Amino acid sequence: MTSHEEHQRSFWQPALGPRTRSLAGLLSPVRCSLRHLQDGWELRTSGMTIDRLLLVLSSLSEETRTLVGFSTEEAGSPHDQPRIQDPGPEAARSTYGRIAWAVQIDGPVEVEDAEAIQGAWERGESMLDAEIRANASLEVDAHGTLVLRARKQEVVLHAVGEVLRAHVARQRGLDSGDITLPEPGLVHALLGISGSIGLRPIETETYPTWVDVGISTCPEGSLKSANTSVIYDAVGNSWHGDF
């Protein structure tokens, strides 16, 4: 077994610091847009930190490995997992900020596999095409948008569910792990309206026992006011929507 296979597959999640509700934070949108590819699905997300989607990759299966490539040489080999020496929020943000791509692969991984994936990324080609055992890939484009590609639709639905869960967690001042993921069927119905959704904190109303999440389903490229919503029931720890 190679050394990079022995690295832990889980990522340390930084503790949430004090929450501020600045005007910029109230207006800043989180966007997700989904499209069907010839060999799978592509989800583009802006306004969300990369650690949330890395958790999606690392949770797909216990039989997989997650390779991570960095945008700077100081983080180490492109096929190593990030190793945080000082588990503090600043260290975590610094490490996550250098990640350029991540790929989830079934089974053991050799150096040649990592090199092939790195080469595909450098050429701007599909990292899923570079490795037949790759199930999903995640990269950061030149504009900071997170691009998740997966062979199975359930992976991208999981990712959008993670976006919704993180959004509600921030609104309620909780850790995301305290909130259940929306059912894939609910996420599928929501994306089925236009293939794109936008969330703004200012359009989310929080009550003691439930959260009304306003959602814009306007086409990609513009963000109009929310035209639909989903409800998170804090008592039942469940999600509801009528589409």
Residue 9: pLDDT over 50:
no
Query: What pTM was estimated for this model as a whole?
Result: 0.78
Q: How would you classify the pairing of strands 196-206 and 210-216?
A: antiparallel
**H or E stretch covering 136:** strand 134-140
Residue 178: pLDDT over 80:
yes
pLDDT tens-digit profile of 216-239? 998 765 667 899 999 999 999 999
Do 106 and 145 fall into the same domain? yes
Q: For residue 235, what are the domain limits?
A: 156-240
Closest CA to 61 of 130, 133, 161, 163: 133
Q: What is the pLDDT of residue 78?
A: 41
Give the least confident one: 46-50, 187-191, 203-207: 46-50
pLDDT band of 22, cuts 50, 70, 90: very low
Residue 8: pLDDT over 50:
no
Domain count within the chain: 2
Q: Which of 121, 152, 183 is the last residue of a domain?
A: 152
SS3 assignment, position 212: strand
Mean confidence (pLDDT) of the chain: 79
Q: What is the pLDDT of residue 4?
A: 34
Q: What is the pLDDT of residue 81?
A: 41
Q: What is the pLDDT of residue 205?
A: 95
Q: What is the pLDDT of residue 94?
A: 65
Do 117 and 143 fall into the same domain? yes
Do 193 and 127 fall into the same domain? no
pLDDT tens-digit profile of 70-122? 875 544 444 444 332 333 444 445 678 788 999 999 888 888 888 999 999 99
Q: Which of 152, 171, 187 is the last residue of a domain?
A: 152
End-to-end CA distance of the chain: 49
CA distances in angstroms from 3 to 6, 7, 222, listed in the order given: 5, 7, 46
Q: Tell me if 25 is assigned to some domain.
A: no
Q: What is the pLDDT of residue 220?
A: 62
